[in-house]
Amino acid sequence: MNEGARVGTAAVRIQGLWKRFGEQVAVAGIDLELPAGRFIGLVGPNGAGKTTTLSMVTGLLRPDQGTVEVVGHDVWRDPVEVKARIGVLPEGLRLFERLSGRELLAYTGRLRGLPGAEVDKRATQLLDVLDLAGAQHKLVVDYSTGMRKKIGLAAALLHNPEVLFLDEPFEGVDPVSAQTIRRVLERYTASGATVVFSSHVMELVESLCDWVAVMAAGRIRAHGPLAEVRGDAPTLQQAFLELVGAHDRDAASDLDWLGGGVR
Ligand SMILES: Nc1ncnc2c1ncn2[C@@H]1O[C@H](COP(=O)(O)OP(=O)(O)OP(=O)(O)O)[C@@H](O)[C@H]1O
């Protein structure tokens, strides 16, 4: 059990977070506390600000305004403490392409300060569980999209972080690998750790997460335990469409030429 991330305390505390890119406001003043020991989904339409938020929370992007604490440490004042306690699988993950999967884990483990024998043991287990043992000596450049996600996940988990941040971890992953990733993450949160992941796939969020935050246009529209956010709606998808106002949109009506006789 990770001592710093017990259920009841906050894994992440965000206050007054803002980010602009020129005229574009990507994140418009977020205040949010993510509870520890939960499987948390950050959901929102394209361009809602999920990636920008996760980048600021994990110390990859400096906010214009606001503060973020992860397990009690300020991300920008105390970056080394924070980075030792988190694992990150970012969107558009860049990996060392000319290393094999096994070498990538060995390198990551040593960077994290783990003893060589421990890195070897953990790498073997992770490669095995994630069904990458057969591809461990292949160069990462030759990995498929799903294999890249899995080796990235293994690298993010190797030092047993207290909080794991995943940006769209299931994108490009086949159902069998998705099930494997899911089992690994469920086991990980069952031990008291926290997972925060962003996704558009509502069914996935509904089946995996026990806590959700809904984002739209740079703001948090709803947050809390899954059942509370879903409310009386039959599915999270339905609740989500209402929260982001998408039910008013009838985009298809503007496409009267599509599929018609005139080409
Ligand atoms: N580096 C950047 N420069 C300019 N604009 C940016 C940059 N990064 C993000 N944005 C803008 O900020 C807004 C939020 O983008 P962000 O990628 O955080 O959304 P998202 O919710 O992760 O979207 P998606 O689900 O499509 O990945 C968008 O309008 C996007 O165009």
Structural domain includes residue 176: yes
- Report how far ligand 1's centroid is from the alpha carbon of 196 (Å): 18
pLDDT of amino acid 257: 76
How many distinct structural domains can be found in the chain?
A: 1
Ligand 1 atom 27 nearest Cα:
46
Q: Which residues line ligand 1 (CB under 6 A)?
A: 21, 24, 26, 44, 46-52, 200
Residue 32 falls inside a structural domain: no
- Atom 30 in ligand 1: residue holding the nearest Cα: 47
What residue numbers bound the domain in which 155 lies? 38-47+80-213+220-244
Identify the top-confidence range among 108-112, 206-210, 234-238: 108-112
Confidence of residue 247 (pLDDT cuts 50, 70, 90): low
How far from 176 is each of 102, 165, 201, CA to CA, in Å? Answer: 21, 22, 17
User: Could you tell me which of 80, 71, 93, 81 has the C-alpha nearest to residue 155?
Assistant: 93
Flag whether 65 is in a domain: no
Give this complex's ipTM.
0.96
Look at 252 and 95; give whichever has higher pLDDT. Answer: 95
pLDDT band at 3 (very low <50, low <70, confident <90, very high): very low
- pLDDT score of 117 more than 70: yes
CATH of the domain at 153: 3.40.50.300
Q: Classify residue 161 by its DSSP letter.
A: -
The mean-pLDDT minimum among 66-75, 84-93, 129-138 falls in: 84-93
Tell me which residue has its CA closest to atom 7 in ligand 1.
Answer: 21
In a domain, 22, yes or no: no
**Can you state the angle between helices 145-157 and 175-190, rounded to 10 degrees?**
10
Mean pLDDT of the 253-261 span: 73
